[in-house]
Amino acid sequence: MKRRDFIARSLGIGLTGLPLHAIAKTSIGTAELTTVSDGNLVLPAGFIFDPMPQDELQAIRQAYGLEGDQLTPECNLALYQDGQNTVLFDVGSGPDFAATAGTIADSLDQIGLTPQDITHVLFTHAHPDHIWGLLDDFDEPLFSEASYYMGREEWDYWWNPATVDEIGAARQAFAVGAKRRMEVIEDTVNFFDDGDEVLPGILAIGSFGHTPGHMSFEIRQGNDAALVVGDAIGNHHVAFERPEWPSGSDQDAEAAILSRTRLLDRLAAEKLNLVGFHLPDGGMGRVEKAEVGYRFIGDRA
């Protein structure tokens, strides 16, 4: 059994999934924002749904066809190209996390890029499907020419030796894996805080809760803008319809609810484009206010 298959099975992640290389695009001024697939995950439904009110949840699951025991969320990395910089938001799962994910190099090839073309990597957070792709099959940096950026709070949390003991048995592998990859970039990583302009036209937005230092990013040129929200809005169903419900995927449910609600309010009010890591059809779309909560309007809808 391959190492990633063993890890996937120990975490309850399945080994079958969806077609790869889903891509969506939009323009931001003279720049282009693209989503590039890293494959998908296969998760136990309870990983998301267990903390929610089950009676009310059932109607939403039926409406979205989510009545089975598994969820198969896409993994969509945002790629921003402004003519000078080629910026990748997160790096995907790599070869060790799940057999259905870790396809970023192939997906970049589909659009004529190699990992060496990436000039900057900005991390939303350090969960496995967002940072384990830092290393290739030989444990060497895949994006060898890139500069790396991570929020200071997120880095400090995973770097803290106490985290592996405090995070809980189900997530201990997350902590060990994050620390191992962060050690590779320890001497070169650039830190930023909530509200900082990380790169020209890219603003960090604290969206804490999914992890203690989770960051989203506003990308803007003039009046054109989009928000890259990582896992702060983690799905297209319950997170939109009932953002006030706790999700089992969030490490701090109360903080995550505040972040999710704030982002949805802004996205709907300002009619901004949205990129969500686990949203469907390439992860790109808009948010509309609904009679109850919100709805996701995908660019391919």
Alpha carbons 114 and 144: distance in angstroms, whole number: 10
| Eight-class DSSP state of 190 | E
* Coil vs helix vs strand at 269: helix
Angle of helix 172-184 versus helix 152-159 axis, rounded to 10: 110
Report which secondary-structure segment, H or E, holds 217: strand 215-221
For residue 16, the model assigns a pLDDT of 37
Instruction: Decide if 204 contacts 193 (C-beta within 8 A).
Output: yes
| Eight-class DSSP state of 134 | G
At position 60, the amino acid (one-letter code) is: I
Options 3.90.320.10, 3.10.20.30, 3.60.15.10, 1.10.645.10; CATH of 3-298 = 3.60.15.10
| Eight-class DSSP state of 101 | B
Structure tokens at 250: 């969030």
Alpha carbons 172 and 43: distance in angstroms, whole number: 17
Structure tokens at 278: 């686990």
| Domain positions in the chain | 3-298
For residue 300, the model assigns a pLDDT of 61
Alpha carbons 155 and 123: distance in angstroms, whole number: 10
Instruction: Decide if 250 contacts 238 (C-beta within 8 A).
Output: no
For residue 255, the model assigns a pLDDT of 98
Alpha carbons 162 and 165: distance in angstroms, whole number: 6
Instruction: Decide if 290 contacts 241 (C-beta within 8 A).
Output: yes
Q: Tokens 């989009």 label which residue?
A: 226
Overall size of the chain counted in residues: 301
Please report, for residues 27, 36, 105, 152, 271, the alpha-carbon distance to residue 88 in angstroms, rounded to integers and kept in the order given.
Answer: 16, 9, 12, 18, 24
pLDDT of the chain along its 301 residues, tens only? 344 443 333 444 333 343 445 588 999 999 999 999 999 999 999 999 999 999 999 999 999 999 999 999 999 999 999 999 999 999 999 998 999 999 999 999 989 999 999 999 999 999 999 999 999 888 999 999 999 999 999 999 999 999 999 999 999 999 999 999 999 999 999 999 999 999 999 999 999 999 999 999 999 999 999 999 999 999 999 999 999 999 999 999 999 999 999 999 999 999 999 999 999 989 999 999 999 999 999 986 4
Alpha carbons 274 and 292: distance in angstroms, whole number: 20
For residue 116, the model assigns a pLDDT of 98
- Backbone dihedral angles phi then psi of residue 253, each to the nearest 5 degrees: -60, -40
Burial 209-230 (b: 16+ CB within 10 A, else e): bbbbbbbbbbbbeeebbbbbbb
Compute the CA torsion angle 268, 127, 37, 237 (nearest 10 deg). -40
For residue 21, the model assigns a pLDDT of 55
What is the radius of gyration, based on Cα positions, of the chain?
18
